[in-house]
Amino acid sequence: MPSLNLPELLVIGFLAIVFFGQKKLPEAARSMGLAFKSFKQEISEAVTPVEAVKDDVNSMSTDISKSVTKLQEDVAKSTSQIEESMKLATSK
């Protein structure tokens, strides 16, 4: 995001004075400040549920990974047992 340098800020300030007038400028600035504060508060309130869902998804992902790892271990163990049983059956 581009930054504003001193000349750009001066132009914006000049335009604000022309647009609002000297007497209305503090009121307009105050209104903009309140609007930004409200916007920031709304954004933070929207982020909180998203973070909770993100935590839940991460927790489920961890649980699924553990289950898959356990399943792989069980399959490998069962495969070994079947192979040993087949060796014993064929050696008799």
Per-residue pLDDT at 81: 92
Our count of domains for the chain comes to 1
Output the pTM of the full model. 0.47
What domain range is 74 assigned to?
A: 6-91
- 74 domain-assigned: yes
Per-residue pLDDT at 14: 85
- 1 domain-assigned: no
Per-residue pLDDT at 87: 86
- 44 domain-assigned: yes
- 59 domain-assigned: yes
Question: pLDDT tens digits for the chain (92 residues)?
Answer: 567 788 888 888 888 888 888 888 888 888 989 999 999 998 888 878 888 888 899 999 999 999 999 999 999 999 999 999 898 888 76
Per-residue pLDDT at 1: 55
67 close to 75: Cβ distance less than 8 angstroms: no
Per-residue pLDDT at 64: 95
DSSP alpha helices (H): ranges in the chain? 6-20, 25-91
The C-alpha atoms of residue 21 and residue 73 are separated, in whole angstroms, by: 75
Per-residue pLDDT at 27: 87
